[in-house]
Structure 1
């Protein structure tokens, strides 16, 4: 049965709630180098290249595996059921994500919004996603689920103008206090930008089954010494493990990490390989933050390929790759070229954004992560609460602690780090368990299952 057929059969009904599976499936690989002889030199080199390619390259693009999961609500082939609230809407047959056309939304201001009425639907069991792309300006894509009294919950995902079409992983970002998600009667779709002038397209509005609960992934950027000296001991107190991403050049060359942001007061030493291995034995996972922590979207295609490929090469050779290689885009810097190249080497990727994710990822290379600093702890707690209430996935991201902090006005102290972990821990493992990327990846098929 196709997704469309399932949509027609299930859209107006509830859906069976899904449970998360337990267990971590972590494997590692190492590049094997054969002995060479003068007679078999060419054959051995060819065999080695084939092995390297098989180990480094992924067999498929994770962005396509689940992009049509869930149930189709609207393919925007007929716009007559949509009303324009702000800006303008036209049918555009020159581009689409599914079908023959998309809805083109535009405005000279900072917001363009459309809406449609639906029969009363209980969204306790549903999440939503939508495909979208932008022409020039960056913006957020939002889907608002509104009840009969005008109260609403907001699903949000960031977009860049050079991302191309993306089927979003949008998660809950905010809500009004009295929204009744058991009686949703209006769906609103909108682009919101900081600057005036928006031109974008939307398509493929879908419903997705919710799991039985929330989950949280704890991630650490740059793999600096403070993650081992400061964060690790506190994490052990709560029984938590994390995911650390690293710019592999600095580990490979035993060099200090230059954040290349213009704001670092001092360079930072990366963790040693031995320290990383200790964390790995305690359940931590490691992944790439490219090779040199560059603004990847500003690089040439070949430079991007080198950053992506070489970072994975180092991780594989040093046995830090698990069953799902994951990457973090430095500064959140990515575009369609970066995503296309990354898809050949990594299964999951994290951007930077202040929102949650649906557990049912439709684009595993575009996961939103909330960066936690001492000056936004209240927002971090709000997101944890929203995750628990709406069965969402919170990806909480940390940088250096104490004297290793580098973000002016947003440093993170060890005491504040402990406060966040205590808040998370006190929610209880049954309310919001901490999981690894591997957990999440291993559960995706069941989370998307219609059975």
Structure 2
């Protein structure tokens, strides 16, 4: 559903500028990016998240030019570390120090003191030889989860090999399954992150959410090898009153300005632009004036980087320098979205998260070609999920799921000429579809971050 007033959105953004000295960023890519990869774990394949849908690497990056000069000096460090400050949303349900209430359905279950997110123990799930690992817990009394979502802390030495499924079952065998379809954390430098997966599907007869009797956590093995997963800090938290959609465009391309922006203005729907500062004004990319025009029209401009500088592949000092430069450029040109970042190629590792956490409040992504949604109140601030906007039917399903289950869907686009982006005609149909849906609101990253901080 569209915002009633585009000018009101612009007013709220500009009046909030003074307090935005340390906002968050969401990462992206240039060229036919690594974001174009097909799903791995959820679909039973192991294509890297750093490959394009056709298996090619990016070929149309512009020649890099001198780093743009900022209009004015800016303090670029965040005033707090969002991952620490917002690490415990909602109510603790299980800290996994006592596994006596959990049953292993598949694979192996161990109590582990090797890694722990909370306390000194976690649950270690192992699926060997291509098998899944699954654990379940029954509630002594059924629970009313009509207005509730779940989140948990996750760590894996095999992140690209599995998808996370969380089943909520009622006493009659009906279920809803919450899914994180793909994990793009790079090995070997792995770490903990929180995930609050949205509903992917339900049984033919939806579960009676007033009577949930059982929860199951599944590491869905997509390979013929082993998966190792640590689970901790299972939490429960409220649902919002409606669903939310974010239209996220990577790279700041001229094609968005020429072809998509007029449709966004027509339907009064905001978008998020993840721009690479040093590419601004070059061939195929928007000029600074065009970015500022889109900002004034209601789009949000956030931090991004080229796939030639994937965060996990850079040394710590080099990565920190790039993040500082990009944020300073955004702040210097008045773009409050500098607090948010989109990772190039969706790649990250534990070191990258530590560095990004010093400068940005929110970002990501774990990306999938299938619906890949989240609760607005409990995701890891720097490990958001999103869905590739390559197919109209899948994108409409994201809208439907978010409307029905009150989740957040971030839809990602690059260029109408790319395989990872639906056609211009289908995009118009998508905008028409989302504006007619009464139970979803299209928002930007600042508004999503406000929701995340509210619990």
TM-score (norm 1): 0.80
1:132 aligns with 2:154: yes
Task: Write out aligned runs for 1:4-43 (5 A).
Answer: 24-26=12-14, 27-28=16-17
Equivalent residue number for residue 166 of structure 1: 193
Equivalent residue number for residue 417 of structure 1: 427
Task: Write out aligned runs for 1:104-253 (5 A).
Answer: 104-108=124-128, 109-118=130-139, 119-138=141-160, 139-157=162-180, 158-159=182-183, 160=185, 161=187, 162-180=189-207, 181-195=209-223, 196-251=225-280
Candidates 377, 387, 392, aligned match of 2:407: 392
Candidates 384, 387, 394, aligned match of 1:370: 387
Equivalent residue number for residue 3 of structure 1: none
CA contact (8 A) 1:142 1:155 kept: yes
Equivalent residue number for residue 291 of structure 2: 276
Equivalent residue number for residue 344 of structure 1: 358
Cα drift, residue 444 of structure 1 = 3.1
SS in 2 for 1:316: helix
1:443 aligns with 2:451: yes
Cα drift, residue 175 of structure 1 = 2.1
Cα drift, residue 137 of structure 1 = 4.4
1-side partners of 2:397 and 2:178: how far apart? 15
Q: After alignment, is 272-281 or 289-298 more displaced?
A: 289-298
Structure 2 stretches of 5 or more lacking a match? 1-7, 22-71
2-side partners of 1:60 and 1:281: how far apart? 28
Cα drift, residue 361 of structure 1 = 3.1
Which protein, 1 or 2, shows the higher relative CO under an 8 Å CA cutoff with sep ≥ 6?
2
2-side partners of 1:356 and 1:443: how far apart? 15
2-side partners of 1:163 and 1:284: how far apart? 34
Equivalent residue number for residue 95 of structure 2: 75
Cα drift, residue 182 of structure 1 = 2.4
CA contact (8 A) 1:133 1:164 kept: yes
Cα drift, residue 218 of structure 1 = 1.2
Per-residue CA shift, 1:289-334, capped at 9, x if unaligned? 1266532212222222122111112111222234x61111111111
Equivalent residue number for residue 59 of structure 1: 79
Structure 1 stretches of 5 or more lacking a match? 1-21, 32-50, 257-268
Task: Write out aligned runs for 1:250-329 (5 A).
Answer: 250-251=279-280, 254-256=281-283, 269-290=284-305, 294-322=309-337, 325-329=339-343
1-side partners of 2:199 and 2:308: how far apart? 29
SS in 1 for 2:336: coil
SS in 2 for 1:394: strand
SS in 2 for 1:236: helix
Candidates 118, 122, 141, aligned match of 1:98: 118
If you compute each CA radius of gyration, which structure gives the higher value, 1 or 2? 1
Cα drift, residue 443 of structure 1 = 3.3
1-side partners of 2:308 and 2:77: how far apart? 21
2-side partners of 1:87 and 1:325: how far apart? 41
CA contact (8 A) 2:342 2:363 kept: yes
1:427 aligns with 2:437: yes
Give the total of aligned pairs. 382
CA contact (8 A) 1:155 1:170 kept: yes
2-side partners of 1:277 and 1:436: how far apart? 16
2-side partners of 1:189 and 1:90: how far apart? 14
Cα drift, residue 192 of structure 1 = 1.8
2-side partners of 1:120 and 1:129: how far apart? 19
